[in-house]
Amino acid sequence: MTTDPILNPTIEVGSFVWMEPVTTLTDFLVAIVCWVSYFLITRINNPGSEAFPWFKRYFLIFAIGMTSAAWLGHGLQAYVTPEFKAIGWICGATGLMFLQFGSFQLIKSNLKPGLRKALQVVFVAQWLTAVGFMLYRLNIGIVEAFKVTQINSVVALIVLVLPMHIYAYKVVKISGSKLVIGALAYSAIPGLVYSNQISISRWFNYHDISHVLMAIFMSFMFYGLYSIVAASPES
């Protein structure tokens, strides 16, 4: 049974135990947005765009990760060990790396060769560091490991992806990057809700609210990335 007063009450039907039901469904809502985004962006089928395969993988791996997070990380906790939460976290870190590489494709022709190589090394090094620390901190505790995912998300999105899209919009004149910039600015809202544990009730707590806001964020990201790929000269 759930004992933390801020978490959704556990639902038991016979021998079946469903923990954090609303949190499960709101997390799965993010996954659904990612699945739909993946299938819609795949329909563009623009092999001439170097960013296209990376953005496609971004939505796919996030869809897989959020599906795992919803059910193995929340709903079915009674049947799996806490270590299963790492599946969603690692998928999330991988998806952010794909987003970085896709965003990099938009500006790489304007960068010096040395900077191009350095950025790609940074993307991979960040992913390896994040995953390594996640697994290491998992031995200490779930909360400690999740902090790594939060820090990695901020670094990936704000420190690396945001500047690339500002450059793409200002210098390369890719109008769709303006939408991505707006989405990244919005991403602070679910983060603030989660960090400050802003809740309405046990049935709609800060986990649930931040998940709904995250689903909106992923919708904004889809709109921006779809616009970039669809407007590519190669399409």
Residue boundaries of the structural domains of the chain: 11-230
CA distance 113 to 23: 45
SS3 letters across 63-108: HHHHHHHHHHHHHCCCCCCHHHHHHHHHHHHHHHHHHHHHHHHHHH
Confidence bin at 234 (pLDDT 50/70/90): very low
- 11 pairs with which residues across the strands? 18
3-state secondary structure of 234: coil
CA distance 24 to 208: 8
CATH class in words for 11-230: mainly alpha
pLDDT confidence of residue 2: 47
Q: Which residues, 6 or more positions from 204, have their beta carbon under 8 angstroms from its beta carbon?
A: 22
pLDDT digits (tens, 9 = 90+) for 57-99: 999 999 999 999 999 999 999 999 888 999 999 999 999 999 9
Write down the pTM of the prediction: 0.92
